[in-house]
Amino acid sequence: MIPTPLHTPQHNHLLAALPAADLALFADQLELVPMPLGQMLYEPGTQLRHAFFPTTSIVSLHYVTETGASAETAGVGNEGVVGISLFMGGDTTPSSAVVQTAGHAYRLDRHVLQAEFNRAGALQRLLLRYTQALMTQMAQSAVCNRHHSVEQQLCRWLLLTMDRVPMRELVMTQELVASMLGVRRESVTEAAGNLQTAGYIRYRRGHIAVLDRKGLETQTCECYGVVKKELDRLLKDVRTTTS
């Protein structure tokens, strides 16, 4: 698919942080692909064939237990890449990746990614720093799910989602949110109701509109700020060291 002004690799922050000369080495191998809601990019234990650099989509990395219960370990939007195991020493992962918010991404063949990573240039430094940020997000998700209220978790999740997509209204069912957070649907219903009563969001079936972002920020836990600060710090450092 030929890129349009609405879709360029630079809409992904990792690709945008690369010096032009480094991006040019594999730019013609980047394939713009649609990412429909619910698409499974990879399943546990399967061979990963591509890395995905989201631009307008969001991908959820989550783990599903033997009983069928699931919880999100991290989300990946235009700030990152899906498929870190391809350059971290393994081609499979015990988790799965599914499209949480429909949009687009740039797909890159695993062999191209691995060859560019092994050149030990700007892309390698960039991907390693992003991996550190992703690990921070996973750690904070574990802490948040254990120690913070469902309402705080929902605020964190909504804020991180809004950071990745330029829209105030999200197409999202309570069942999907509950699956992401690893909690009961009734708990999400109660938390969303409280936020709606406070005037922070408006919820109707399948849609969540954020009315007061500042209000959500006052209700969330410190986990949102930790994840955002670490990602901003690492990408800022990358732009400095690769320029």
Q: Give pLDDT tens digits for 78-127.
A: 999 999 999 987 777 888 999 988 999 999 999 999 999 999 899 999 99
Span 149-220: which CATH code?
1.10.10.10
| Distance spanning both ends of the chain, measured CA to CA | 29
Mean pLDDT, the chain, integer: 87
Has residue 4 got a pLDDT over 70?
A: no
Residue ranges of the chain assigned to CATH 2.60.120.10: 9-145+224-242
Whole-model pTM: value is 0.87
Residue ranges of the chain assigned to CATH 1.10.10.10: 149-220
Residue 108: its H or E element: strand 103-109
Residue 32: pLDDT band (50, 70, 90) is very high
Picking from 113, 122, 94, the residue whose alpha carbon sits closest to that of residue 50 is 113
Region of 169 on the Ramachandran plot (φ > 0 left; ψ -120 to 50 alpha; else beta): beta
Q: Identify the pLDDT of residue 5.
A: 58
Question: In sequence order, which ranges of the chain are alpha helices (DSSP H)?
Answer: 13-17, 20-24, 110-118, 122-147, 150-164, 174-181, 185-197, 213-219, 222-242
Has residue 2 got a pLDDT over 60?
A: no
Region of 146 on the Ramachandran plot (φ > 0 left; ψ -120 to 50 alpha; else beta): alpha
What CA–CA distances, in Å, run from 97 to 48, 77, 107, 152, 199?
11, 12, 14, 24, 33
Has residue 238 got a pLDDT over 60?
A: no
Q: Identify the pLDDT of residue 65.
A: 78
In terms of C-beta density within 10 A (0-12 exposed, 13-18 middle, 19 or more buried), how is residue 163 classed? Answer: middle
Q: Identify the pLDDT of residue 115.
A: 95
Span 9-145+224-242: which CATH code?
2.60.120.10
